[in-house]
Amino acid sequence: MARFLTETIGTLSDASSLFVVAAGLTLVFGAMRVINLAHGTFYMYGAFAVTTFAGTASGLRFWVAIVVAALVVAALGAVVQLGVVRFVVGKEPLTQLVATFAVLYILADVALHLWGSGARSVSAPLGVSGTFTLAGAYLPVYDLVIIGVAVLVGLVLWLLLSHTSLGWMIRAAVDDPELLQSGGVNLRRLHLAVFATGALLAALAGAIITPQISVAPGMDQSIIVSSLLVVVIGGLGSVVGTAFAALIIGIADTVGTLVDPAWASTFMYFAVILVLVVRPWGLFGTPER
Amino acid sequence: MSRTPSSAAAAAVVALGAPAPAAPGSLASRLGRAIALVAFIVLVVVLGLTLAPANALELQYAVSLTLFAVATNLILGFGGLVSFGQGIFYGVGAYTVALGWMHQSLDFTEAMVLAPLFGAVAAVPLGMLALRTRRLYFSLLTLTMSQLAFVIAENQTNLTGGTNGVFGAMVPTWLLDPHTSFLFTAAIVAVSIAVLWKVVHSPFGLVLRAIRDNRERVEALGVNVYAHELAAFVISAFFCALAGSLFVVYSQSSYPEILNWTASGVPVFMAVIGGMYSFFGPVVGAFVYEFASHYLIEYTQDWQLVIGVVLLAIVLLRPDGLAGSLGSLRARLRRRRQPAAARPAEDLATPDDAGGRP
């Protein structure tokens, strides 16, 4: 039982941070039909920014650092949108993939100048570090923080997309952009807001996870692959699908580690391949015409 | 690619060697192209034999990458399939030679023959799977497969040597001399590219391009689109694997980084830089990319920045790549000399429209 609890909380925590990153990716795709390969870059920047802003002092400053990091990276996202992504909306996938990959390269280089090539770390503030006991299992308190943030993000996104006028504008932005524009909606500004929000979510995920990982260059390239796995399984553009898919990936990873550590990291890829064999457009996606 | 008029793009293809439909002066221009090609090959060979060993080795690597780029472009530019997974087959080729040497003490020649075959065999199930998906999903699924191949190569330490990969005397001594290995590589690449040229300009290649341009219409004509795409995927994998085995000749090693998703992106970038709608565009792209990154690493740590900016500039401003720019320049010159009616019908080799229609 204790073992089961430990694994469950660990899996949920992994799935949660993955969900927050991937939700940003899928939100941008849902509104703009752009897959942003530099999305993982925002995640890495969020994490690096926390190591800068939080310093060594923990406590309140840590939480402030997370908020500031997310906002700063959202601003960076706005710059990327205005400088690059704006020009590839509506273009073919190859153009979008190459352009956003170029952004990944450029920002990876800039990150080297800003934070160097070494690994950095931040410790969690006293209140949320350490473990608590439940049914004989020692569980990291910080896992609960991550899960809580993911649930909050999920709820806010769901409310935003299904219960506000901004939500239907985002959906209409893909279905019928011309009609939306003739209705007086500024599509460019909408895209800018959505892209900055996507960057903010990636940065938030990267910022919140800093106490559990070592922050180093290369994070951008590895997290983008996991997030792509998630959004492809879930169906591009679907936030609900993203939540399910993040869980599937998390479970695949945990089960993999338990079954055979040497093959553990391949399980999530096989999960993707399995899903796409059955539904080539993902669990909650719609077939591409 | 709708930014540039398609006629300019088509002219690029014509200029760089696509079959020019019967047009005034086409024989002369064909002859001109053939002479240019021969001159280029002679230049490369002479350079390879006279350069200092280190530079000859670098040239050899660039030459082997041209095969990787042209093979990838068979499905990318001519098939319209944006694969971020060709690094898998490059890796299969390299690891076939390396692991054959390590585990089976396979003879080098045998391994070189087996490498492309293994690449083709691996491409059958992967292609069958990946081609069930379309467009963006195809790109993302092939990217995923590439990362899977990387993870396997990295974690199965007993089989693959893990993160460090395989190093050792897997290349026979007669191939160790830089000039000999350069000639060896150049010969294999030349023959392979000639074969790929034949494929692109065969009826099969034409059907492939037709699928890229208008899938529904070709399907309605009774063509098995899936089978054609799969065949192209397998042929591409065959030559990608061959290029991978040439990587072993160059580096005498094989390691996981050659098949992760960014490595799979490299031939795509080469094709984009050089121009994916022309047959020889990726060759240009491979030389530019390889020499640029090689010399940039020597002079600056910011090679990622420079390559990123170049890619961005090309994809935003010159979607047809360097070959496309050259071609549109030529077309402009030709137009000035020729009356409109005498212009060749140029819409054979390029997508007539945005290119990426379903």
Range of the domain at B186: 25-258
Question: CA angle B289-B291-B294, nearest 5°?
Answer: 105
**Can you read off the two tokens belonging to residue B200?**
């692109």
> What residues of chain A, 225 to 264, have a C-beta less than 8 Å from chain B?
225, 228-229, 232, 236, 262-263
pLDDT above 80 (res A110): yes
Q: How far apart are the C-alpha atoms of B4 and B203, rounded to whole Å?
A: 28
Task: Say what the ipTM of the complex is.
Answer: 0.84
In chain B, residues with a C-beta closer than 8 Å to the C-beta of A108 are 304
Query: How many Å lie between the alpha carbon of A212 and the closest alpha carbon of chain B?
Result: 22
B281 domain residue, yes or no: no
Q: Which residue reads 């925590």 in tokens?
A: A13
Cβ distance B147 to A269 less than 8 Å, yes or no, reads yes
B273 domain residue, yes or no: no
Which residues, 6 or more positions from B254, have their beta carbon under 8 angstroms from its beta carbon?
B91, B94, B95, B97, B98, B99, B165, B166, B247, B248
pLDDT at B336: 66
Give the mean pLDDT of chain A: 85
| Contact of B46 with B59, CB cutoff 8 Å | no
Higher pLDDT, B238 or B2: B238
B276 domain residue, yes or no: no
Cβ distance A98 to B311 less than 8 Å, yes or no, reads yes
Q: How far apart are the C-alpha atoms of B144 and A164, rounded to whole Å?
A: 35
Q: What is the pLDDT of residues B281-322, one digit of tens each?
A: 899 889 888 888 887 777 777 778 888 888 888 888 876 777
Q: How far apart are the C-alpha atoms of A96 and A30, rounded to whole Å?
A: 15
Higher pLDDT, B16 or B209: B209
Q: What is the pLDDT of residues B89-141, one digit of tens each?
A: 999 999 998 888 878 777 888 888 999 999 999 999 999 988 988 888 888 88
| Contact of B6 with B351, CB cutoff 8 Å | yes
Cβ distance B311 to A94 less than 8 Å, yes or no, reads no
Structurally, how many domains does chain B consist of? 1
Give long-range contacts, CB 8 A cutoff, 24+ apart: B211-218.
B211/B79, B211/B80, B212/B78, B212/B79, B212/B80, B212/B351, B212/B355, B213/B80, B213/B351, B213/B352, B213/B353, B213/B355, B213/B357, B214/B357, B215/B357, B215/B358, B216/B358
B19 domain residue, yes or no: no
B343 domain residue, yes or no: no
Q: Which residue of B has its CA nearest to A91?
A: B1
B349 domain residue, yes or no: no
Instruction: Identify from A39, A96, A101 which residue to disrupt to test chain B contact, counting B C-beta atoms within 10 A and taking the largest count.
Output: A101
pLDDT at A274: 83
B10 domain residue, yes or no: no
Q: What is the pLDDT of residues A2-14, one digit of tens each?
A: 778 888 888 888 8
**Can you read off the two tokens belonging to residue B257?**
């980084």
> What residues of chain A, 84 to 103, have a C-beta less than 8 Å from chain B?
84, 87-88, 91-95, 97-99, 101-103
Cβ distance B308 to A109 less than 8 Å, yes or no, reads yes
Cβ distance B132 to A277 less than 8 Å, yes or no, reads yes
- Minimal Cβ distance to B307: which of A91, A93, A105: A105
B236 domain residue, yes or no: yes
Q: Which helix (H) or strand (E) holds B238?
A: helix B225-251
Q: How far apart are the C-alpha atoms of A135 and B203, rounded to whole Å?
A: 70
- How far is the CA of A265 from the CAs of A234, A257, B58, B156, in angstroms? 19, 8, 35, 11
